Amino acid sequence: MKARRAARAKVDVWELRLYVAGQTPKSLEAFANLKRICEEHLAGKYHIEVIDLLQNPQLARGDQILAIPTLVRRLPEPVRKIIGGLSNTERVLVGLDLRPRMVAE
């Protein structure tokens, strides 16, 4: 655990990708949730890329996207995926490894 935290500490910018399919209320909500969490926990060191699969369907294959919305943490390694509307902040934090898993719930 300690080694991992140390590894993460070296990363300057968190690279996040949010996959959505069209500008639906749900995708907008997911983006808003993500933005809020990042501002709270990763202020100034994150980058969010929103990918609309309706416009770039070929990108679904690369990150093995099935569920919409899916948030992919590209950096820091390892890659993590979080699916759903990101409404459960606690679980998003666990998924992003911003909070230890054992302590979750």
Partner 1 sequence: MQRKAIHQRRATESALPRCPSGIEGLDEITGGGLPRGRPTLVCGNAGCGKTLLGMEFLVRGAAQFNEPGVFMAFEETAEDLASNFASLGFDLDGLVARNKLVIDYVRIERSEIEETGEYNLDGLFIRLGMAIDAVKAKRVVLDTIEALFSGLPNPLILRAELRRLFRWLKDRGVTAIITGERGETTLTRQGLEEYVSDCVITLDHRVVEEIATRRLRVVKYRGAAHGTNEYPFLIGDRGMVVLPITALGLAQRAPTERVSTGIDRLDTMLDGRGFYRGSTILVTGTAGTGKTSVAAQFVDAACRRGERCLYFAFEESQGQIMRNMRSIGIDLAQWADAGLLTFHATRPSTFGLEMHLAAMHDEVRRRQPRVVIVDPISNLAVAGGGDIGIKSMLMRLMDYLKGQEITTMFTVLSRGDNLEHTEAAISSLADTWLLLRDIELAGERNRGIYVLKSRGMKHSNQIREFILTDAGVKLLDVYVGPGGVLTGSSRIRQEAQDREEQALREQELDRRKHELERKRQALEMQITTLRKDLEAEEAEFERFVAEKQLAGARIAEEQLDMARSRKADDYAAAQRPAGEGGVR
Q: Which residues sit at the interface with partner 1, rule CB under 8 A?
A: 19, 21, 26, 30, 53-54, 57-58, 60-61, 64-70, 78-88, 91-92, 94-95
Q: How far is the CB of 11 from partner 1 (least distance, A)?
A: 18
Query: Distance from first CA to last CA of the chain, Å, rounded?
Result: 19
Q: What are the angstrom distances between the C-alpha of 28 and each of 10, 20, 84? A: 31, 9, 12
Shortest distance in whole angstroms from residue 47 CB to partner 1 = 20
Residue 8 or 91 having the CB closest to partner 1: 91
Q: How far is the CB of 78 from partner 1 (least distance, A)?
A: 8
Smallest CA-to-CA distance from 60 within 74, 46, 70 is with: 70
Decide whether 75 or 83 has the Cβ nearer to partner 1.
83
Asked if 69 contacts 28 with a C-beta cutoff of 8 angstroms, the reply is no
Quote the least distance from Cβ 97 to partner 1, whole Å: 10
Rounded to the nearest 5 degrees, what angle is found at the Cα of 102, between the Cα atoms of 12 and 99? 25
Residue whose CB is less far from partner 1, 3 or 58: 58
